[in-house]
């Protein structure tokens, strides 16, 4: 038997809304993928100096974004097909994504509040054990060059490093590389006139806190949007089952 006349417009409306939602969901996946790539490329050196267990965060975003893109396309297909089991599978996936992103968002905010203590410790260690060769040393140089800062709190932090006695302050501290030679950097009297006086600690923590807040905020927004998709998918599935409605 054919469904009641009022059911067809309801199903058509729900299908339209779910297709639009699935498309938006696909877009959010692309955004997460882009944020993950941006985080890896732009925040990599900063993250590597803050905590070893946080370096996987960009890869998590990239993986999540890729999976969302795939399931966004699946959601469009399931909606057009009008298959109840596909719609239920889609709703179940959305619920899993919701939980995963909620946990990720909370972790982001927790990490944001712990960032100063972690960075102070790891960056101080990187400065004291600087050798201009390993990954941590390259990250320190990158930060000092890009943020135009020197040392943890100021350039005097370099006086206690293993690098200073024989090499002086690193050249990445110089505000004018053409007027900065190794002899000047080893001279505690001359060096202050050649290097940045602003320490990197406050600059980096402020930069990271701002960007972590943005990432966590976007994650929360996307997570709660899954509830809309779950509701639409479940409603459409139940109406189709109740009326034995199938798309040809």
The upper half-sphere exposure of residue 173, i.e. CA atoms within 13 Å in the direction of its Cβ, equals 33
Residues 6+ apart with CB under 8 A from 134: none
The three-class DSSP label of residue 196 is coil
Q: How buried is 110 (Cβ within 10 angstroms: 0-12 exposed, 13-18 middle, 19+ buried)?
A: exposed
Task: Report the range of poorest mean pLDDT among 29-33, 115-119, 183-187.
Answer: 115-119
Q: What is the pLDDT of residues 27-84, one digit of tens each?
A: 888 888 888 888 777 766 666 666 555 556 677 778 888 888 898 889 888 888 888 8
The number of beta carbons lying within 10 Å of the beta carbon of residue 88 is: 16
Q: In which residue are the tokens 């102070």 written? A: 120
Q: What's the pTM?
A: 0.60
Determine the Cα–Cα distance for residues 72 and 77; give it in Å rounded to an integer.
9
Which has more confidence, 93 or 208?
Answer: 93
Q: Give the pLDDT of residue 157.
A: 92
Q: Give the pLDDT of residue 181.
A: 86
Residues 6+ apart with CB under 8 A from 152: 120, 123, 124, 127, 199, 200, 201
Q: What is the pLDDT of residues 140-171, one digit of tens each?
A: 998 888 889 999 999 999 999 999 988 899 99
């Amino acid at each position: 038997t054919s469904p009641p006349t009022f059911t067809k417009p309801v199903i058509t409306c729900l299908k339209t809304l779910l297709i639009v939602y699935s498309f938006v969901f696909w877009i959010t996946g692309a955004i997460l993928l882009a944020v993950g790539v941006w985080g890896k490329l732009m925040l990599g050196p900063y993250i590597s100096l803050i905590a070893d267990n946080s370096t996987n965060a960009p890869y998590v975003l990239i993986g999540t974004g890729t999976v969302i893109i795939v399931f966004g396309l699946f959601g469009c297909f399931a909606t057009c097909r009008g298959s109840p089991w596909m719609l239920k599978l889609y709703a179940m996936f959305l619920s899993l994504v919701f939980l995963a992103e909620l946990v990720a968002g909370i972790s982001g905010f927790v990490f944001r509040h712990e960032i100063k203590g972690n960075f102070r410790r790891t960056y101080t260690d990187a400065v004291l054990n600087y050798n201009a060769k390993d990954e941590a040393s390259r990250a320190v140089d990158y930060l000092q060059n890009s943020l135009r800062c020197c040392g943890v709190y100021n350039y005097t932090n370099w006086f206690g490093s293993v690098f200073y006695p024989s090499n002086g302050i690193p050249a990445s501290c110089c505000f004018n590389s053409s007027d900065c030679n190794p002899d000047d950097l080893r001279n505690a009297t001359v060096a202050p006139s050649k290097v940045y006086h602003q320490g990197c600690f406050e600059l980096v923590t402020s930069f990271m806190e701002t960007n972590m807040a943005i990432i966590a905020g976007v994650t929360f927004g996307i997570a709660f949007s899954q509830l809309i998709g779950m509701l639409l998918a479940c409603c459409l599935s139940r109406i189709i089952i109740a009326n034995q409605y199938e798309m040809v």
